[in-house]
Amino acid sequence: MIVDKINTEDMFLYYSSKMALNNISIKIPEKKVTAFIGPSGCGKSTFLRSLNRMNDLIDGVKIEGKVIIDNINIYDKNIDVVTLRKKVGMVFQKSNPFAKSIYENVAYGPKINGIKDKSQLDEIVEMALKNAAIWDEVKDRLGDSALGLSGGQQQRLCIARTLAVNPEIVLMDEPASALDPLSTAKIEELIVQLKENYTIVIVTHNMQQAARISDNTAFFYLGELIEYDRTKKIFTNPDKKQTEDYITGRFG
């Protein structure tokens, strides 16, 4: 049985008075990879950020409608954003490791959660790095600065850092857009592995990527969700003309 992990209902988002998301209703299944595609500026990142309330950091953002995760509307007044973000992790477009050691980057989240025991931290760090498929490359230099890693390694480290908090959902905003093909391939392979344990939502402007790794694909255009279906269906036989035009490269 497919369980809906995230469920938005009639969601609108405004930057000051400018509408950026127009009536989005979508059900995102658990332990699957869901891809958001669409031309740039159509609201993919905005929508992704509204799933862990990172939009709260932007002045003048107003949200209407519901974003339900595990039967709870995360925009309810009594929701603790900090707890929410532990459950819904995020990997950013530009890798953003802290100016700390590789180890400290991954241990950051667990430490914030109050884990102090050294052996327990070691274990979490190792697991996270293994899950992010970077353990073999860094296991001998955990104490080195994370800033000395290559771009692709930094991004996998950021994924490890997110996994170390033990989230249920991982949001990724074009996580491979700044990487070379080899690193991109590694990240894609990793994402497919991760869906075994995590619900993955990924924004990508690379349609081959969406086709390769996702189970479902949502096509956004001008702040609206135009079409949402099985990835196979979207890429072979979309219902909407706009979707077809976009995936065949006629615009965007």
Ligand X SMILES: Nc1ncnc2c1ncn2[C@@H]1O[C@H](COP(=O)(O)OP(=O)(O)O)[C@@H](O)[C@H]1O
Residues that bind another protein (CB under 8 A): 52, 54, 57, 59, 82-83, 85-86, 89-90, 92, 94, 96-100, 108-109, 112-113, 147, 158, 161-162, 165
Smallest distance, Å, CB 147 to Mg ion? 24
Terminal-to-terminal C-alpha distance of the chain: 36
Smallest distance, Å, CB 143 to Mg ion? 34
Q: Is 62 a residue that touches ligand X (CB under 6 A)?
A: no
Q: Which does 109 bind (CB under 5 to 8 A by kind): another protein, ligand X, Mg ion, none?
A: another protein
Closer residue to Mg ion, CB minimum distance, 107 or 187: 187
Q: Which does 41 bind (CB under 5 to 8 A by kind): Mg ion, another protein, ligand X, none?
A: ligand X
**Interacting span for ligand X (CB under 6 A) from 44-52, 177-185, 189-197, 229-237:** 44-52
Q: Is 45 a residue that touches Mg ion (CB under 5 A)?
A: yes
Smallest distance, Å, CB 207 to ligand X? 14
Q: Which does 42 bind (CB under 5 to 8 A by kind): ligand X, another protein, Mg ion, none?
A: ligand X
Separation CA 96–CA 98 (nearest Å): 6
